[in-house]
């Protein structure tokens, strides 16, 4: 086959998807190059945001659980229960913000 005959044939769906993916990655790379000056600060900010979004609910749940256990002693350990709930809430919160920032930057 000559080069001209390859250009004339229609692309398969896989080739179209591949071309679309390459174009999207190229566009993201060009945008990232334009915004290269804020990349380090953005990374540090996101690192801090993720850390605090997990730490605050975890500590809040722990302290609330300690207070409940001291105020109303009982069989279930509220400290462990609320610690676990705080970690889950914090991880969900971190995931939400990472997803939000990722979508905003695309």
For 18-75, what is each residue's pLDDT tens digit? 888 998 888 888 877 776 555 677 777 777 888 899 999 999 999 999 999 999 988 8
Q: Which is higher by pLDDT, 7 or 58?
A: 58
Taking phi over 0 as left and psi of -120 to 50 as alpha, with beta for the rest, 12 belongs to beta
- Asked if 87 and 54 touch (Cβ cutoff 8 Å), the reply is yes
pLDDT, residue 5, reads: 52
Q: Which is higher by pLDDT, 105 or 80?
A: 80
pLDDT, residue 78, reads: 94
**Three-state secondary structure string covering the chain:** CCHHHHHHCCCCHHHHHHHHHHHHHHHHHHHHHHCHHHHHHHHHHHHHHHHHHHHHHHHHHHHHHHHHHHHCCCCCCHHHHHHHHHHHHHHHHHHHHHHHHHHHHC
pLDDT, residue 29, reads: 82
For the entire predicted model, the pTM comes to 0.58
């Amino acid at each position: 086959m000559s080069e001209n005959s390859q250009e004339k044939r229609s692309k398969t769906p896989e080739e179209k998807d591949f071309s679309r993916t390459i174009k999207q990655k190229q566009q993201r790379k060009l945008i990232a190059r334009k915004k290269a000056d804020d990349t380090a600060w953005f990374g540090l900010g996101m690192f801090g945001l993720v850390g605090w979004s997990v730490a605050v609910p975890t500590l809040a749940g722990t302290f609330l659980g300690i207070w409940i256990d001291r105020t109303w002693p009982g069989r279930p350990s509220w400290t462990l229960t609320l610690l676990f709930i705080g970690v889950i809430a914090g991880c969900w919160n971190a995931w939400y913000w990472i997803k939000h920032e990722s979508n905003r930057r695309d």
